[in-house]
Structure 1
């Protein structure tokens, strides 16, 4: 026992010696001298957005359409509160549309009027006249810019670039087949006039992302993706309204025949920024 206590005392003495020899760890501050002393982390940073208005004409094309593709011409007006935050509105008008291959095939195979197989779902020989169409869009929106930097082209040309996301509310003017077969003065759904289109305005969320390439102090080139999902009757069909979950035709065309569509488009924008020179930090 005497030997054990002696060993323990020796270990305790050694531990005390080591603890006494360990000093408090301190971080050493690095003193920067020379021309960089006292300078901020980033110098001569061009703030292309902050405090500037943007006027950007746009050309847009819808994507993944079943029956009709639409071409829009419009523009974006935006004020950038900060380099990372902007508020504005984008609006466009449909200047042209192109029938898809599916529409052409349905047109070719539709039965002529008077045939016993004439359907209340298809205008014989003129199906593309009954499919829905987008006419105009207006979207107040916020823009957030989380990323910015330079894009290198062949490691020789460097372009100031930023990536942004946008979101807001879209007001969409469209035409779709009018109500029929419901009585109260509505035409029957096999009458020729029942295939006429009626106008309405849909309200939908809109969101997306984009890239801006700053070609000089005044101008930028942008590419943008936009989604604006909502329900509408794109084919003019009587496809719903009866059955357990309303999933079967009911010989009527009305709002129950509208189905959800994740509408999408891409846009090309040429931006002009005012004042004509960006702020430099």
Structure 2
């Protein structure tokens, strides 16, 4: 026999669907989010074109279109970090969060819906950014080395997942800090200064989110400190889940 959903189950399911729809609507109507995504895409295309042109001229050595096209992701990730923080912190400006909590008093549900809505928007945006960079490098590179379809697909999927998880992690940090500028400065300093420094000095850095995440698309081969894509995905996913859980815990206790 098929179990019949109880009224409570239907009510909670409908509440969850309404919360997700509301968070999607807020995110889609946030101009700063679209400006950030558009700017990130344009910057990534320009960087990919510049790197491909430099590679064709021999100034960056012989590199395939895939490597050149994905190299710009190390810089383009800044836009996804900003997007995550904006999604989390935008409502604290002007006190809009109070209106949100009046309409959706269940804070855990509201924050879960916010992160899910962010993932729905970011996933295709990340895929478009990564793919466009590789295509640009392939068109302009001239001397692209052949890449198997399987390797190409794994690299694109890995980097897309990395950007998506990085955005969700940034949103969790934004929810903890609740200040856009402070959260952006903190995360950018980590991804562009602290992380690279630690990566060059200790093998323990492979357990940090940036190093583990980059291995999803740029696996490090050889040596005892090698990071596989699967290992990197597990570590970055764990970091993201822990930070989201911590954000939910503090969100339930803090005053709006």
TM (norm. structure 2) is: 0.30
| Bigger strand fraction | 1
| Bigger helix fraction | 2
Structure with bigger gyration radius:
1
Greater RCO between the two (CA within 8 Å, min separation 6)? 2
